[in-house]
Every structure is written in structure tokens, then in C-alpha cells.
Structure 1
Amino acid sequence: MNSLVSIIMPAYNCEEYICEAIDSILSQSYQNIELLIADDASSDGTKSIIEGYSDSRIKMFHNDGNMGYLQTCNKLFEKCNGEYITFQDADDWSAKDRIASQVEAITQSSLGICGTFLEFVNPDGSPATASKILPVSDQDIREKMRSTNPFCGASIMITKDAYEKVGGYDPFFSRIGNEDYYWASRIVDKYTALNIDRPLYFVRANPNSVTRTIKNVRQLLSVEIVHFLIENGDKIEHSKNSIDPKDPLLKGFIEQLEKPFIQDASLIYRKEADMRAYYGDFVGSFQSARKAFMARPWYLINLKYLLTTATRIINK
């Protein structure tokens, strides 16, 4: 059990946390690793912090311009040399035995994909919520896949064989999120899956994280799009191994999803408030609720959101 493990880390404007992320990988009990890092044209000191490391296991592939999380991951996928591939987000960290535990699980159970339980933490690293409980067995993962993402995306480890068969993230999901959900569903369709029932990955409630910032409506619809693709993937047109966004069936489905947001300009902010609250960012949730109220102040539900999110801050 000493095969090389490739760990990919896209990094963008995370100077406050990236040292903890990198150090958590370099200090893993499993030492035969390569850490592939790409700074995605950060405007803060992230890049210089990365370049301050001299560990030979770190390989740097910085972007000249901002490519986004998905495209950066796909770039790093192509650079991987390991028999196993996993992730480490630049504002989170991993338990010391995470990599060893996943390699052991994959080899002992002939898995193609292996995740772990996770724990949400506050920006200062203190616990934010209880550990996230996920389905463990292959059967339970398959049953959950059609209704919710059964993995912590950043803790997923796959075999090289799985990557060669499925490839990287589908570009269709670039800058809208849930690329990991759809990708995992395609791997589970071909390989045995497992989640280790211990929190080996720690997700920071960083309000500035790209996964917590809503910039377009489709970010809020991406889960429903994944569900639709899981159910109808064989009917959707593909071009160059990617979903064709012009496919009539998919295009019609997305248009129906977008209608409520066109009719109610405040809906996007209420959805954003829900997402920030889920990650424990109650101040950010209040700010989003305030945007909803400002967009449609006479709408009763926006007043309710404003009061509810304010109450969460007071009671925290």
C-alpha cells in the first residue's frame, strides 16, 4: 500500500487559510504523495505563499488568468501521475490519516471511488456544526445519488482507472457548481463506492469561498440539473464528451427552472441566504436576506427572511 497519490488543489484568494490546507496534506501519515497546486490568478498573496514552500512533493501549475475552479481542476487532472487522485480545497483541511484511510479502503474493497464524512468549521477553525452524516455502503450511495449528493466532493478519492474511463469534470458545469455531483454519479455508475464513516475532511465556513458566492441563477439550479441528467442522461446530446447545452430537452428543462427567478427578482437572494445559513455563515445569510428585502420590500416573505436571519445572529 505505497502507490503514489495525486492531490489537486486549485487556489483563489485564500491567503488566510492556504497554509493550513497545504500543511494538512504535507503532514499526512501517508507520505507517497504529490500535491498539484494552481493559483487561479489571485488578487491577494495566495500565489506568493504557495511559492514559499520548498517541499519537493509540491508541483505548481499557476494560471496566467482566472480559469475558475472546474477548468483549473481539469488542468490539474491532466498533470496527475498517481494511481489514486483526490482533492484538497485551499480553505479547508484534512485529518492526518485521511489519505492513508482512503487508500486502504480502496485497496481492501476494490473501490473505484471513496469519500469520507466531513465536519463544518467556523473561519477560526472551531466546530460549526455536527459531523455531516453520509451514506456509507455502495447500495446506500446508489440509492441516495438520485436525490442528493452522497459525497463530500473535496474528499473524494478515485482510482486512475476511473479517471481514464470517465475523465474530468464536465465543462457544462463551469462556474455554476455541482460538477463533482454529476462526475461522481458517472463514476458510481461504473465502479463500487464507499464513504468512510469518520469526519476526515474539514470544510471551512468561509463566506468568500467561490462555492458560497452566487453570481448567476444557474448556480442555484445546478443540483436540479444534475438530477435531470441522472434520470435522462442517455437522451441528452453530447459533443466532445461534454453535455451539449443546446440540447432541446435540457434547454427546455432549464428554461422552466429559470422562470420563477425572472418573475421574482428577490428569489435569488433568498436562495443565497438559505445556502449561507446552511454553511453556518449567519451574517452573510442576513446580508443576502437584506438584498432580497431591498429588491422587493413589499413582499411579505422577504420581511420574514430578514427577521429570521437577524434572529439567528442574535441567538448564535
Structure 2
Amino acid sequence: MNSNSRISVCLATYNGEKYVREQLVSILKQLSPNDEIIVSDDHSTDKTLSVIESLNDPRIRIIINELGKGYSSNFENAINHSTGDYIFLSDQDDVWIENKVKIMMNELQSFDLVVSDAIISDSFLKPTLGSHFKAHNTKIGFLNNWLKTRYIGACMAFRREIFSKLLPFPSQSKWCAHDYWIANIAEFFFKVKLVDIPLIKYRRHGNNASTGGEKSKNSIFHKIIVRIYTFLQLIKRM
């Protein structure tokens, strides 16, 4: 790895005052002085921003999401403002496990997208289902992830080189969420690696913005539209 390489952690927030400080502390201790955390806030109405500002760390840069309401647009906004060579995604309510950055960066020297396992936990970070990979039978490969991805966005890190195909995100985020899009772009065009080590405590507290790999409640019609729409968007990037 080039000693001048920089990491950008893209963290999307919305009314996350309860957990965001703990998450940021777990991230900051793993970053170098030259790395950055891009916090894209989706117009929070609680004390999220003041909690973040209280950390008073120059590596944190707060921007407001102007791409449209929703977590997928919020992540796209953060990614658009990132400047690093390597992008890590982060939810506002998890906790990074020690050595996450070191392990992921080692794999990113050979792969374009790296996805780690996670420990599925309750609101107090007590393990519930344990390994996400085992609980959801996570598998690598385009067909597997186009039909039914089990990759969690908060477990992803990728090289800036995938931006050429990744951005902008498809306009209809209701049919193509950010992590589903990133997974499919990477599997279709690039090299992907699964890291069979839990590197985050994936907090499920009942108010999470995403389902996190839990069983979808969407109709069969919706699922078909999602897959057709996403495949057509992939073809457009060829």
C-alpha cells in the first residue's frame, strides 16, 4: 500500500444521537491523521450533529444531504464528497471491532470490494444471531447477489477505482438500495472478497433504517422489478 493512500469513512446519519458517538470513537482510533470521516446528515432533528461536533476531531467533516431524503441518497452524498483512495461505509449505530481497518486494507490491495462478516447484536451490543454470514448463508458471486444479496453496506470497503461504474447511483433508490447497487456493480465488473471474520458489531435496535439482511417483506412483484431495474442499470454501465 502506498504510504500516501488515504481512507475515507462515509457515515450516513439521521437522528442518531443515541449511538453515533460510540461508533465514531471506535472508528477514529483506527484511522491515521490523514484519513477522513465524511458524515452526511439527512436533516436530523435531534442532537446528532452537536454530539458529533463535541468530538472536536479535524478528521470529521459534516455535510448535509441534498440529494433527496433517504439512506441510499445519504450514502451517495457522502461518497460524492469523499477524497480517499479507499472508501469504508459506516452506519451510525454500530461499533467497529479492533483491527477492522488493518484487515480490510490488507485485502483491498488485491480486491476492489471487500465485505466482512458482522456480529449481529442487540441494542446493548450483546450478540443475538452471531455471525451474519452464517445466519444468512452469505455467498460470493454475481448471480447470488443479484438474486438475493446478503452483503451489508456497513461491512463494505472498496477502492476508488469502482467509481467509474458506481456513480451516480440509479435514480430509483426504492428499487435499488445503495448496498444492493454497490454489491452488484462490484460483482459484475470488479473483484470481490469476503472476509470471514466479524469486524463490526451490527446493532439491531428496532429503529434501524435498513433491514440488514433480514427477511424482506416486499411483494414478489416488487422483488421482480428490483432485479430487472438493477440489471438494466448494470447494462447501461458497460
TM-score normalised by the chain length of structure 1: 0.64
Identical columns (%)? 23
Higher strand share: 2
- The residue aligned with 2:197 is 198
1:21 aligns with 2:23: yes
Q: Which ranges of structure 1 fall in alignment gaps of 5 or more residues?
A: 213-217, 242-316
Q: Which has the larger radius of gyration?
A: 1
Q: Distance in 2 between matches of 1:160 and 1:124?
A: 34
8 Å CA contact 1:113–1:158 kept in 2: the answer is: yes
Q: Distance in 2 between matches of 1:227 and 1:141?
A: 15
What is the 5 A alignment of 1:53-64? 53-63=55-65
Check 1:54–1:223 CA distance in 2 against 1; reply closer, same or farther (3 A cut).
Answer: farther
Query: Quick one: which amino acid aligns to residue 144 of structure 1?
Result: N
Please, which runs of 5 or more residues in structure 2 have no aligned partner?
A: none
Which residue matches 1:68? 70
Distance 1:18 1:169 in 2: 25
Query: Is the CA contact (8 Å cut-off) linking 2:119 and 2:132 kept in structure 1?
Result: yes
Residue aligned with 1:124, SS: coil
**Number of positions where the alignment pairs a residue of Structure 1 with one of Structure 2:** 227
Q: Does 1:167 align with 2:161?
A: no
Q: Cα gap change, 1:49/1:166 in structure 2, threshold over 3 Å: closer, same or farther?
A: same
Deviations 1:191-228 (A, max 9, x none): 1100111000221112112225xxxxx98256543433
- One-letter identity of the residue aligned with 1:53: L
* Corresponding residue number in structure 2 for 1:5: 7
Which amino acid letter does the alignment assign opposite residue 20 of structure 1?
A: E
Q: How does 1:217-228 map to 2 (within 5 A)?
A: 220-221=218-219, 223-228=223-228
Q: Mapping of 1:215-294 within 5 angstroms?
A: 220-221=218-219, 223-229=223-229, 232-233=231-232
Q: Which residue of 2 aligns with 1:180?
A: 179
User: Cα distance 1:164–1:235, how it changes in 2: closer, same or farther (>3 A)?
Assistant: closer
SS at 1:47 equivalent: helix
The aligned counterpart of 1:153 is 153
The corresponding residue for 2:86 is 84
CA distance in 1, matches of 2:67, 2:170: 20
**1:105 aligned residue:** 107
- Structure with greater contact order relative to length (CA < 8 Å, sep ≥ 6): 2
* Closer/same/farther in 2, CA of residues 53 and 29 from structure 1, 3 Å limit: closer
